[in-house]
Copies of this chain bind each other. A is one copy, B any other.
């Protein structure tokens, strides 16, 4: 579908150049479409931003569901896949930051791993599941962010490798400890 081609190009653009690079014409060029296409589908820039964030949210809805027999392992695998899909994850951070001054985006981005984390914490016998769940989520979020943008540059092992998985798993295990 045309719209998806456009929003996918938008995601790449945002990952590579930041929100500033997201213009109608730049998306046209990036997607190899004739000038004016993006503008036809998303008349205003606000619409374009929302379209791109919706696409992001759609693409990530899949990934979420830990295996109860190997909680840490399955979470580590999900995190690692997000590191591998570097551009998508970078675009998501850009979108989250954008949501700070563009609240409509928040409802699109919810993605809410929070309830899930709370449930998980309850399951694992934390005394204050709400708080533990929030801390756990924060830790994962930080792990990702730190690997991807923080800490200078290539911190930690190369994503997608067994070593990366091992490292992530050990971190997740530590975070899951009551």
Chain A residues within CB distance 8 Å of chain B: 16-20, 90, 93-94, 96-101, 106, 110, 112, 114, 131, 134-135, 137-153, 155-156, 167, 170-171, 174-175
One of B20, B110, B145, B155 near A142 (C-beta < 8 A): B145
State how many copies of this chain the complex holds. Answer: 2
Which residues does chain B contribute within 8 Å of A175, judged by CB atoms? 139
Q: A106-B153, A140-B142 are in contact. List 12 more A-B contacts (CB 8 A).
A: A16-B101, A19-B20, A90-B97, A96-B150, A97-B97, A114-B152, A134-B151, A134-B156, A135-B143, A137-B151, A138-B142, A138-B145
Which residues does chain B contribute within 8 Å of A155, judged by CB atoms? 114, 134
How far is it, in angstroms, between the C-alpha of A97 and the C-alpha of B98 when the chains are bound? 12
Shortest CB-to-CB span from A137 to chain B, Å, is: 6
Can you pick out 22 interface pairs between chain A and chain B where the beta carbons lie within 8 Å of each other?
A17-B101, A18-B101, A19-B19, A93-B97, A94-B97, A96-B149, A99-B149, A112-B152, A114-B151, A131-B170, A135-B143, A135-B174, A137-B146, A138-B145, A138-B146, A138-B147, A138-B171, A139-B139, A140-B142, A141-B142, A141-B146, A142-B142
Shortest CB-to-CB span from A6 to chain B, Å, is: 19
Which residues does chain B contribute within 8 Å of A145, judged by CB atoms? 138, 141-142, 145
Shortest CB-to-CB span from A10 to chain B, Å, is: 14
Which residues does chain B contribute within 8 Å of A143, judged by CB atoms? 135, 138-139, 142
Are the C-beta atoms of B146 and A142 separated by less than 8 Å?
yes
Are the C-beta atoms of B149 and A134 separated by less than 8 Å?
no
